[in-house]
Structure 1
């Protein structure tokens, strides 16, 4: 290789060095993000021999740079020559796994785990396991914290002797003097449990779990809930009763609301894991207690578990034990609890069946529809389809429709939007006569809403209604009302006319397109407001393919093309742009 070639091959590294020394952190971040490109330029051998050692010596930077470096190295195996060289990335990531900043450590652990599953057993034994040892006995708690996340990925790839050592080292971490290390051990114990044999779960993992589950720090105890689920999934119901039932009872009534919150949040998953006997004998009572908990956060989490838990017990128990609690939660002092319940309560309808839904749930739906909090109203409206499937639209319309109609002018626009999104479902079930009497005017009123998202949703709603009831109905019921808006003095109404006609164009036939939609759109092409004119051009772009499909080539040539030609010479840049784009589809 001559001197010129040598200088050229050094070029990527030289650039990287310069950029990583730049005082601007954002430039250093960008340099690290381009590591893959530089590695490709260098090739695997020089990446291993030059780039990786350089990076090992460069870990003295701001956290945002180190975070990106930790992320990039997780996908770097292919650039160093494949899995057989993947272990060369571990020293740099090991250093990053011991830094002070938590997000950097977490990302480094994630990347190490990604690389670990690609390594062969010899690499695991010679490089990965020694790294775990060093991190696990490090002087600083940061390294010991990171070590906890590295055991599960390596466990199944290790020899039996090494597995025994890993369990011993993990036990030391579970008993560490530093709460942050015990927290990390509690967090990752569930993953390790899934890798360990049942024999060792019984003999070693359960004692570690018990120790962490009664830790003096509630921040440690709350992180053992997932481990409880993982252990229960391994054990038989009899073993669960003997080994962890007492701890489960204790955790359900823990003095810390944060622990009770975690139990409530995972309650269905936990109930499925422990078996039907424990659910029936212990967990119904525990769940009722969580639904009545003094802390709103716990009641919120429990409310979200109501439908899922109800399917695990018999209907009589639901009606006797769970429904009284649900009725209390409908008027809970916390709107967050009521909002969580509103999201989930409709999930009870399929389980309870038609009669019980009518007797027990419909009154609660009505109460939630009239709740003072917009989020509660929004959540219950958005789940109406579940109720409709169980009780039928006739009963739904009789009991809930009046309350829904009352919300058409709700101050919270997202509530109005949720109603609009449910209108096509209601329309298809109610039939055209009922719709015209009760809901047609409602749908037209939304076209004049002050919020753009509502007006936009209203136009889409009209297209869906046209698809439900047919073109002839649209020509009679909605198109004339849309056309009336085209002469309104407020430009927003005229703009909405364009949007509405564009939306329903795809749902009508050629006659309606030619007789109703096109004449109005062509008239609006001369509107004094530029925003309307360029939306007319957009409308033409949508209509032209439809017109051609309907064998309306003459209309395209005689009416649309002249209108677009005029718009293409408009004084407004946007109008010209969209007109010229639309014109391209006409030829």
Structure 2
């Protein structure tokens, strides 16, 4: 290749990166690996990377793509021994104004740093980290906080000391954004430190951040607390963190209280059984009774997880009274969160206590005014059923299901349809046929297509639950009867139902029950019906082909039907008929 030919890829890239059109510059960035392969590692290092380093004055969208590409670029510049070359352009990107670009650059640096050896880290990465940590603009300092966990374990003790001191300065930075970033990454950095340095360096920094004047900083220290507590003994957790936990639970900012409520189970596991039993039960009760609905919602989501960490007596004496109050909470979101979680208490309490204490609460939630509460309790009934059986719930369950099934909001009706197969498994065939069978058929005539479509899929799932014989006696005759309805939507639903149920029934059922209706609808006056018949036949062919007795029907009845449809005056009918014929030939 001549010299001009060799220079062509980089010349094209330069032209595209300098183009006024942002989409062209984006495409050039996304093809960097291709360009690098064409150039080879040497020229990629000598020409491409320096050029990219000078090209950061660009649109944020382009810079974001560049920051992401550079993280996977080590192999294109010759491997780990040259990986430090990528640090410079990424350092520039970590200091730009746009947060997403900075975050992506930090993410890419965290991919590259682990492949650097000790010499590269100390010669190139540590100076980079120092420059970012001491930058005049807060943007570089916030980026620096996300890099301390990378490379710490590989460098010498002297450099490790400097890193800990430097991180400590960022935790005490005058700018709240920097302190927020430091709080975000404190837990990750703490995991890299020895126990000694954790106690001497990280815990004091954590305590400072946990008492920060900004609640946006304090709330981030909750996850730090979990990360640090996991690395010390329960006794040390009690000594170092108990007062902080109590302060967080009582924090004047509801956002801090929400954060600790949302992480309460993780925190309890991290600090150990003794603190949980002796000190955190009261704290959890306080969160369950918080005056902010958001906090109570988060705490309600932690109820079954926390209950697993304490004894049954504690649950009955402290947790359950709060749960009773939450069942009638003024916030529908709190009640919905509780309804999603309360069934998790049943396996912990056992049959007797569940029947005595939880059952009345389940029944009350099933009658709640807010549809999401009723949906959530129904969706989790399987757990309760395994403990006490469905019989005790069925009398209250049925009215709730019927009410949801007829809700004016179609999405609510759709949600209850999706739960029907699970309920069918729990209720049994006799109860289902008597109470819910007609309801399932009524959905096939719903005015909303999504409901009719979901109802046909529901029939297939019910066939899988109760068996083909049940479907043959109960569902299929009713579905096929709709195939002669004067309203074409009912006939359409018949075709959809046949297509959906085909994989769940036997070839004999298709032959004896479904085939006559399908062949009859081939001549339907509505083109939409006819092309759906072609799609239905395509679904029936594989099932009939499984059985030697029914396989001849494909050639005898279905293929002639498709040939007829392939000559239909309607273009769509012909298209789907030809497509279905390909499965026969």
Match of 1:548 among 545, 548, 573: 545
TM-score between the two structures when normalised by the length of structure 2: 0.97
Residues 247-293 of structure 1 deviation map (CA, whole Å, 9 limit, x = unaligned): 12111111111111111111000000111121122111111111111
Aligned partners of 2:261 and 2:287 also within 8 Å: yes
Counterpart of 2:457? 460
Q: Distance in 1 between matches of 2:219 and 2:307?
A: 24
Aligned partners of 1:459 and 1:503 also within 8 Å: yes
Distance 1:186 1:354, change over 3 A: same
Q: Tell me, yes or no, if structure 1 residue 492 matches structure 2 residue 489.
A: yes
Aligned partners of 1:155 and 1:195 also within 8 Å: yes
How many angstroms does 1:445 deviate by? Answer: 0.9
Counterpart of 2:250? 253
Q: Tell me, yes or no, if structure 1 residue 477 matches structure 2 residue 474.
A: yes
Distance 1:247 1:467, change over 3 A: closer
How many angstroms does 1:6 deviate by? Answer: 1.6
Match of 2:435 among 427, 433, 438: 438
Q: 5 Å matches for 1:213-252?
A: 213-252=210-249
Aligned partners of 2:401 and 2:416 also within 8 Å: yes
Q: 5 Å matches for 1:283-322?
A: 283-322=280-319
Residues 225-255 of structure 1 deviation map (CA, whole Å, 9 limit, x = unaligned): 1111112111111111222211121111111
Greater shift, 242-251 or 373-382, is seen at 373-382
Counterpart of 2:556? 558
Aligned partners of 1:568 and 1:577 also within 8 Å: yes
How many angstroms does 1:465 deviate by? Answer: 2.2
Task: Give 5+ residue unaligned stretches, structure 2.
Answer: none
Distance 1:257 1:428, change over 3 A: closer
Match of 1:39 among 36, 41, 44: 36
Q: Distance in 2 between matches of 1:516 and 1:127?
A: 76
Runs of 4+ in 1 over 6 A off after TM superposition: none
Greater shift, 96-105 or 399-408, is seen at 399-408
How many angstroms does 1:166 deviate by? Answer: 0.4
How many angstroms does 1:29 deviate by? Answer: 1.9
Q: Distance in 1 between matches of 2:470 and 2:226?
A: 56
Greater shift, 121-130 or 365-374, is seen at 365-374
Aligned partners of 2:566 and 2:577 also within 8 Å: yes
Q: Tell me, yes or no, if structure 1 residue 413 matches structure 2 residue 403.
A: no
Counterpart of 1:337? 334
Aligned partners of 2:385 and 2:426 also within 8 Å: no
How many angstroms does 1:216 deviate by? Answer: 1.0
Counterpart of 1:568? 566
Counterpart of 1:581? 579
How many angstroms does 1:69 deviate by? Answer: 0.9
Greater shift, 546-555 or 363-372, is seen at 363-372
Residues 387-428 of structure 1 deviation map (CA, whole Å, 9 limit, x = unaligned): 222211322323423322332212233332333233233333
Describe the SS at the equivalent of 1:72: helix
How many angstroms does 1:547 deviate by? Answer: 1.0
Aligned partners of 1:374 and 1:412 also within 8 Å: no
Aligned partners of 1:378 and 1:414 also within 8 Å: no
Q: Distance in 2 between matches of 1:465 and 1:253?
A: 50
Q: Distance in 1 between matches of 2:427 and 2:254?
A: 47
Greater shift, 289-298 or 327-336, is seen at 327-336
Q: Tell me, yes or no, if structure 1 residue 505 matches structure 2 residue 534.
A: no
Distance 1:177 1:428, change over 3 A: closer
Aligned partners of 1:116 and 1:154 also within 8 Å: yes
Match of 1:450 among 447, 450, 455: 447
Q: 5 Å matches for 1:195-210?
A: 195-210=192-207
Q: Distance in 2 between matches of 1:182 and 1:436?
A: 62
Counterpart of 2:76? 79
Q: Distance in 1 between matches of 2:570 and 2:93?
A: 56
Match of 1:153 among 141, 150, 161: 150
Q: Distance in 1 between matches of 2:423 and 2:144?
A: 56
Q: Distance in 2 between matches of 1:569 and 1:453?
A: 31
Match of 1:425 among 419, 422, 427: 422
Greater shift, 361-370 or 325-334, is seen at 361-370
Aligned partners of 2:277 and 2:310 also within 8 Å: yes
How many angstroms does 1:295 deviate by? Answer: 1.3
Describe the SS at the equivalent of 1:586: coil
Q: Distance in 1 between matches of 2:208 and 2:250?
A: 17
Q: Tell me, yes or no, if structure 1 residue 139 matches structure 2 residue 136.
A: yes
How many angstroms does 1:453 deviate by? Answer: 2.7
Describe the SS at the equivalent of 2:235: helix
Counterpart of 1:120? 117
TM-score between the two structures when normalised by the length of structure 1: 0.96
Q: Distance in 1 between matches of 2:11 and 2:399?
A: 73
